[in-house]
Chain A
Amino acid sequence: MLAWFLESVWLVPLYPFVGTIIAALWFPGIIRRTGPRPAGYFNTLMTLVSLIHSGLALLALWKYEPLYVQVPWLQVAGLDLTLPLEISKTSLTALVVIFLVNLLAQIYGFGYMEMDWGWARFYSLLAFFEAGMSALALCDSLFFSYMILEILTLATYLLVGFWFPQPLVVTGARDAFLTKRIGDLLLLMGVLALWPLARTWNFTELAQWAQQPETIAYAQAHPGIFLAVGLGLLAGPMGKCAQFPFHLWLDEAMEGPIPATILRNSVVVITGAWVLVKLMPVWSLSPGAMGVMVGVGVATAVGASAIAIAQIDVKRTLSYPVSAYLGLVFIAVGTGHPDTALLLLLVYSLTAGLPVMAVGNIVWNCITQDVTLLGGLWSRRPISGLSFLVGMAGLVALPPLGGFWALMQLLSDLDWQSPLLVGVVLLVNGLLSFSFMRVFCLIFGNRPKQMSERAPELHWPFILPMTALAGVVLHIPQILAAVDLLPAWQTDWGILLTLSTVSGLTLAGVVYLSPGIAKPVVLPWRSFQDLLAYDLYTPRLYKMTVVGLVDLVSRITDLLDRYVVDGLVNLVGVVTIIGGETLKYSTSGKFQWYLVTILLGLSLVVGLVIVTLS
């Protein structure tokens, strides 16, 4: 029986896809008769079915080797595009994580979207994401991964733009789409450029190709080519994972509904990192690309965790840590540790939704996202507060929870051979601890303010998924131990990490709980604080560079088209008309003149003919 679940696991992405299509029927047709809710319930049911199916398949595969399934798609003119699926422990675990987080986010949506008429559209898009992500998890081809990432970019546009009447949502959706699309197209360039080198896009075959001595020799002889291809391929994951300088979209995407944020922060952004890890054999051919990857990771991890501290919008305080954490994943892959990267991703994807859920609870009935207007909610919202703390503890390196083990593994991989990177990881962990604790203190600490005076704990659709996820987060170490993924204890790294976490937490606690320090906290270097608060002035930077350039060039092209190309055509027309109008007055109406003209013309032609013939 279990074997059947394993053999048919390729069906799993189709369940949510069916959900997508069925839910779309409710928009806007059936809504008037049934209300929008059945669309959401149906999709949640589909997610549950997918979760059970993939969970049973994982159980069935547990002791066996990965399976490979080929789905023919297109064979044309010598190009064979067959979709290869890899059914392995890793990919099935990814499926379980995706469906689990989705299930919880969808149940959370029952509460959060209670009053919203856009249920059908919302659940349809959530299910579409689910289908895309689960297909990506199974997909063993760079080309099809690119296709899925690109389709998900469109889905991001629609999901971020869910509340489209709001101007900020519209710009957020636009920026999310365009930023990710730039990454996707650079990825496409990399995909195209990789083909003549490897003649395959299959990840498994790419790994074999990259290990061949002639490939290694060729890569060493042509580092420039491999760097260029590598940078193209890197851009896709950079866009998806909101790494510098493609990070702004994630911040703006926070304008979307919170259940979508739960999904985005915990699993959607991971799609990029997933492809990054899968491409590990290709990276190994280009030390230059790996260097860039580490550079991007370091810049994002440090920059984003610092920016997070300067934000006052509660959703933004949670969006920048996403970029920062994925920056650490980039560092792991860039230093050649894909297994550690996968461990980081597993821990992160199971935990990152929890603080978002807790914060979502507060936003829902306090009606503000400004952390400076909140406070004193610990007594009123203990379950949310505890869940936030568990989520925070699970993400940063606080023993004995998951984040601690994953980061310890990262440090042990980096070792003292790269002391700078060790310092970066410790610093980022400290900054993230500070950042999370700051948010906790501002929301739950101190005395209640006007906006948080009356804020009771919410009903079951909020609390049930949140506490369930908190349970999962608390058990991550046991889960890791059960599947032999728990890293070995390393005393020196453990102590260093714990110290960095505790100092971050304590410092934030002191600063934000002590009445002696005026709030909002103002740094002596105001311009530095503004730099972080305004996201390193990235929007302005975009405007002055890419956006400005495209705008300028398009205007110039338009002017060129209007006044030069078309102007020339119209000029010919005008000259013809004026010429005709002028010539019309040269006719006198006298018969003799016409006769003379004809004779002159004829003699000219005859003369020419004679001259030519002679």
Chain B
Amino acid sequence: MLSVLIAGPVLGALAVWLVRDPRQIRLLALVVSGLMVAWVGILLSRFDVTQPGMQMLETWTWLPNLGLNYRLGADGLAISLLALNALISWVVVYSTPVEVERPRLYYSLVLWASAGLAGAFAAQNVLLFVLFYELELVPLYFLIGIWGGPKREYAALKFLLYTAISGVLILIGCLALGWLSGRPDFDYPQVQATVARLGFGLQVTLLLVLLLGFGIKTPLVPLHTWLPDAYVEASPPVAMLLGGTVAKLGTYGLVRFGLELFPSVWAQLSPALAAWGTAGVLFGALTAIAQKDIKRMVAYSSIGHMGYVMMGTAVGTPLALVGAMAQMVSHGIILAILFHLVGLIERKVGTRELDVLNGLMNPLRGLPTVSSLLVLGGMASAGIPGMMGFVAEFLIFQGSYQVFPLLTLLCVLGTGLTAVYFVILLNRTCFGRLDNRTAYYPRVLLAEKVPALVLASLILFLGVQPRWLVQWNETTAQQLAVTQLASAPLTQSVSLLP
């Protein structure tokens, strides 16, 4: 029952208005999001990883004249993103400070956003997808605009404008698909059949419109400038939601509405798309190196990591696709831990400036556990083996090298640059001498560490046991693949030539 993942948070969002005590509001939100995690666990246990296509289908006819049906389903990609969404939503609720202002509005907005995201990932009707896509936008605008930093209004408005344009582009693309089919039916199989009948030029045009739309959401360079402002100005939990799951709507759209709907055009455009992804990897990493604010650095790292997803999706080999999907989940979890820790540092130390921070690894007066976890998160993001980020990136590289060797090597260079800025961040933040005159930081409570500990355990577990990360996607990736690779060694296949 995928609907529970939508209905649960919606009911929760309404129920928080019935409670007055801030602690009970938080408890209620925690219980609701915790139940969603448990429910996703049940769904995962029932998910048949060997079966291609959509599972757990639910269909209700809603507005047949418009072609809008309430149709939900999940394949490997959707189920992993639904799981990510449930987990990150719980972490967001948990890591929100108890003393947050206007708690009822805050938690209901978070739950609304979570419901919207779950709906978008599970939707099997294009119009329903757009509806959920827009539904998640509104609460996030308020979440940035009300609980954000000093420049929150600018950031929120920029986010709203960009995302609204992205929504409009996607709506135009989707409506065009329905209009071209000649009858109002927006269910995915129908839309897929329609696209297959279209001419090449029309397919390219539609794909470009959708690419722009999802490219803004992901974001892909140069459509990204809303991201640093939004991530930096948003409070850390909201930034976790934005980077952890909301950005995945963009990458999800690239796979679902790009690769899956337009396989032949996608295969033709794939060199350009792969180059686009690689440009994002390098641009994100290089810009991150020049940042002086650790939250901004993490925000730019996100742009780079989305480039890997684009790269893997563009290549379209089964392995690269498994990698791209794994990267969506792994990036969500790693970014969440980074934003959580950066948020903790800001709250305890009072600054995010690289030039001011120093020596937090100090075991007595610094923040040793936070620093250790930050090392882990940063290194996971830089793709050090043994952690989940490596598995995803390696699968992308291995899947794409034989198709685009040069671009793949440039992406490997990108992981090197990622290591550069994380070492800068860790060296300045965690290493160095703590200033004894100013180092009177409040203690970090165990409760504040819990989200990071949960995420860190996942990062390590899925790094050591990557089967748990990729098994959900494998069949879906095989089905979606647009490029197949030779399986014989190059040396032997060539030697067979006359």
Q: Indicate if the CB atoms of B467 and A554 lie closer than 8 Å.
A: no
Within residues 183 to 215 of chain A, which ones have a CB less than 8 A from any CB in chain B?
185, 188-189, 192-193, 195-199, 209, 212, 214-215
Instruction: Using C-beta atoms within 8 Å of the partner chain, give the interface range for chain B.
Output: 35 or more
Complex interface: chain A residues within 8 A of B423 (CB): 157, 174, 177-178
Q: Indicate if the CB atoms of B283 and A154 lie closer than 8 Å.
A: no
Does A117 reach chain B (CB closer than 8 Å)? yes
Q: Indicate if the CB atoms of B432 and A550 lie closer than 8 Å.
A: no
Complex interface: chain A residues within 8 A of B286 (CB): 550, 553-554, 557-558
Q: How many angstroms between the C-alpha atoms of A212 and B495 in the bound complex? A: 11
Complex interface: chain A residues within 8 A of B415 (CB): 185
Q: How far is the CB of A550 from chain B (nearest CB, A)?
A: 6
Complex interface: chain A residues within 8 A of B364 (CB): 28
Q: Indicate if the CB atoms of A76 and B225 lie closer than 8 Å.
A: no
Q: Indicate if the CB atoms of A188 and B412 lie closer than 8 Å.
A: yes
Q: How many angstroms between the C-alpha atoms of A164 and B434 in the bound complex? A: 10
Q: Indicate if the CB atoms of A117 and B363 lie closer than 8 Å.
A: yes
Q: Indicate if the CB atoms of A165 and B290 lie closer than 8 Å.
A: no
Does B207 reach chain A (CB closer than 8 Å)? no
Q: How far is the CB of B371 from chain A (nearest CB, A)?
A: 9
Q: Indicate if the CB atoms of B432 and A76 lie closer than 8 Å.
A: no
Does B264 reach chain A (CB closer than 8 Å)? no
Within residues 115 to 169 of chain B, which ones have a CB less than 8 A from any CB in chain A?
158
Q: How far is the CB of A415 from chain B (nearest CB, A)?
A: 32
Q: Indicate if the CB atoms of B225 and A78 lie closer than 8 Å.
A: no
Q: Indicate if the CB atoms of A185 and B416 lie closer than 8 Å.
A: yes
Q: How many angstroms between the C-alpha atoms of A199 and B470 in the bound complex? A: 22
Does A77 reach chain B (CB closer than 8 Å)? yes
Q: How many A-B residue pairs have CB under 8 A?
A: 164
Q: Indicate if the CB atoms of B322 and A185 lie closer than 8 Å.
A: no
Q: Indicate if the CB atoms of B491 and A151 lie closer than 8 Å.
A: no
| Contact for B291 among A31, A73, A79, A558, CB less than 8 A | A558
Does A161 reach chain B (CB closer than 8 Å)? yes
Q: Indicate if the CB atoms of B487 and A164 lie closer than 8 Å.
A: no
Q: Indicate if the CB atoms of B319 and A76 lie closer than 8 Å.
A: yes
Does B430 reach chain A (CB closer than 8 Å)? yes
Within residues 144 to 200 of chain A, which ones have a CB less than 8 A from any CB in chain B?
146-148, 150-151, 153-154, 157-158, 161, 164-167, 169-170, 173-174, 177-178, 181-182, 185, 188-189, 192-193, 195-199
| Contact for B427 among A153, A170, A558, CB less than 8 A | A170
Q: How many angstroms between the C-alpha atoms of A181 and B224 in the bound complex? A: 29
Q: Indicate if the CB atoms of A173 and B416 lie closer than 8 Å.
A: no
Q: Indicate if the CB atoms of B361 and A151 lie closer than 8 Å.
A: no
Q: How many angstroms between the C-alpha atoms of A554 and B423 in the bound complex? A: 15
Q: Indicate if the CB atoms of B408 and A192 lie closer than 8 Å.
A: yes
Q: How far is the CB of B484 from chain A (nearest CB, A)?
A: 9
Does A483 reach chain B (CB closer than 8 Å)? no
Q: Indicate if the CB atoms of B385 and A150 lie closer than 8 Å.
A: yes
Does B488 reach chain A (CB closer than 8 Å)? yes
Complex interface: chain B residues within 8 A of A73 (CB): 466
Q: A189-B409, A193-B405, A196-B402 are in contact. Are A181 and B319 (CB under 8 A)?
A: no
Q: How far is the CB of B232 from chain A (nearest CB, A)?
A: 13
| Contact for A181 among B361, B419, B432, B477, CB less than 8 A | B419
Does A523 reach chain B (CB closer than 8 Å)? no
Instruction: Using C-beta atoms within 8 Å of the partner chain, give the interface range for chain A.
Output: 35 or more
Q: How far is the CB of A134 from chain B (nearest CB, A)?
A: 16
Q: How many angstroms between the C-alpha atoms of A182 and B415 in the bound complex? A: 10
Q: How many angstroms between the C-alpha atoms of A561 and B224 in the bound complex? A: 9
Q: A74-B466, A554-B287, A558-B287 are in contact. Are A197 and B491 (CB under 8 A)?
A: yes
Q: How far is the CB of B146 from chain A (nearest CB, A)?
A: 21
> What mask results when residues 461 to 493 of chain B are scored 1 for a CB within 8 Å of chain A, else 0?
000001100110010011000000101111110
Does B90 reach chain A (CB closer than 8 Å)? no
Q: Indicate if the CB atoms of A199 and B375 lie closer than 8 Å.
A: no
| Contact for A79 among B359, B368, B398, CB less than 8 A | B398
| Contact for A550 among B289, B363, B390, CB less than 8 A | B289
| Contact for B433 among A161, A165, A182, CB less than 8 A | A165
> What mask results when residues 274 to 290 of chain B are scored 1 for a CB within 8 Å of chain A, else 0?
00000000010011011
Q: Indicate if the CB atoms of A189 and B412 lie closer than 8 Å.
A: yes
Q: How many angstroms between the C-alpha atoms of A205 and B384 in the bound complex? A: 26
Does A522 reach chain B (CB closer than 8 Å)? no
> What mask results when residues 371 to 391 of chain B are scored 1 for a CB within 8 Å of chain A, else 0?
010010001000011100011
Complex interface: chain B residues within 8 A of A76 (CB): 319, 322, 395, 466-467, 470-471, 474
Complex interface: chain B residues within 8 A of A79 (CB): 319, 395, 398
Complex interface: chain A residues within 8 A of B363 (CB): 27-28, 31, 117-118
Does B180 reach chain A (CB closer than 8 Å)? no
| Contact for B431 among A173, A182, A219, CB less than 8 A | A173
Q: Indicate if the CB atoms of B416 and A182 lie closer than 8 Å.
A: yes
Q: Indicate if the CB atoms of A197 and B384 lie closer than 8 Å.
A: no
Complex interface: chain A residues within 8 A of B386 (CB): 147, 151
Q: Indicate if the CB atoms of B289 and A174 lie closer than 8 Å.
A: no
Does B215 reach chain A (CB closer than 8 Å)? no
Does B47 reach chain A (CB closer than 8 Å)? no
Q: Indicate if the CB atoms of B491 and A214 lie closer than 8 Å.
A: yes
Does A596 reach chain B (CB closer than 8 Å)? no
Q: Indicate if the CB atoms of A209 and B489 lie closer than 8 Å.
A: yes
Q: How far is the CB of A119 from chain B (nearest CB, A)?
A: 11
Complex interface: chain B residues within 8 A of A78 (CB): 318-319, 485, 487
Q: How far is the CB of A80 from chain B (nearest CB, A)?
A: 11
Q: How many angstroms between the C-alpha atoms of A320 and B434 in the bound complex? A: 33
Within residues 51 to 90 of chain A, which ones have a CB less than 8 A from any CB in chain B?
73-79
Q: Which of B372, B431, B487 counts the most chain A CB atoms within 10 A? A: B431
Does B36 reach chain A (CB closer than 8 Å)? no
Q: Indicate if the CB atoms of A165 and B322 lie closer than 8 Å.
A: no
Q: Indicate if the CB atoms of A164 and B432 lie closer than 8 Å.
A: yes
CB-based nearest B residue for A561: B287
Complex interface: chain B residues within 8 A of A519 (CB): none
CB-based nearest A residue for B383: A150
Q: How many angstroms between the C-alpha atoms of A177 and B421 in the bound complex? A: 12
Within residues 324 to 364 of chain B, which ones have a CB less than 8 A from any CB in chain A?
359, 361-364
Q: A188-B412, A550-B420 are in contact. Are A165 and B477 (CB under 8 A)?
A: no
Does B70 reach chain A (CB closer than 8 Å)? no
Does A114 reach chain B (CB closer than 8 Å)? no
Does A566 reach chain B (CB closer than 8 Å)? yes
Q: Which of B402, B405, B477, B492 counts the most chain A CB atoms within 10 A? A: B492
Does B272 reach chain A (CB closer than 8 Å)? no
Q: Which of A148, A154, A169 counts the most chain B CB atoms within 10 A? A: A154
Q: Which of B283, B362, B409, B424 counts the most chain A CB atoms within 10 A? A: B409
Does A217 reach chain B (CB closer than 8 Å)? yes
| Contact for B319 among A77, A161, A174, CB less than 8 A | A77
Complex interface: chain B residues within 8 A of A554 (CB): 286-287, 289-290
Does B98 reach chain A (CB closer than 8 Å)? no
Q: How many angstroms between the C-alpha atoms of A558 and B318 in the bound complex? A: 35
Q: How far is the CB of B274 from chain A (nearest CB, A)?
A: 15
Does A518 reach chain B (CB closer than 8 Å)? no
Does A613 reach chain B (CB closer than 8 Å)? no
Complex interface: chain B residues within 8 A of A528 (CB): none
Q: Indicate if the CB atoms of B478 and A151 lie closer than 8 Å.
A: no
Q: How many angstroms between the C-alpha atoms of A196 and B477 in the bound complex? A: 21
Nearest 5 Cβ contacts at the A-B interface: A214-B495, A558-B290, A554-B289, A147-B385, A164-B431
| New A-B contacts (10) at CB < 8 Å, excluding given A154-B384, A192-B397, A569-B225 | A28-B369, A74-B470, A78-B485, A148-B385, A164-B430, A165-B359, A165-B432, A173-B427, A214-B492, A555-B290
Q: List 22 A-B residue pairs with CB atoms under 8 Å apart, sorted by A's residue number.
A: A28-B369, A76-B322, A77-B318, A77-B395, A79-B319, A79-B398, A150-B385, A157-B423, A164-B431, A166-B433, A167-B433, A170-B431, A174-B427, A189-B412, A192-B401, A192-B408, A198-B491, A209-B489, A550-B420, A553-B286, A554-B289, A561-B283
| Interface residues in chain A, defined as those with a beta carbon under 8 Å from any beta carbon in chain B | 27-28, 31, 73-79, 117-118, 146-148, 150-151, 153-154, 157-158, 161, 164-167, 169-170, 173-174, 177-178, 181-182, 185, 188-189, 192-193, 195-199, 209, 212, 214-215, 217-219, 550-551, 553-555, 557-558, 561, 565-566, 569
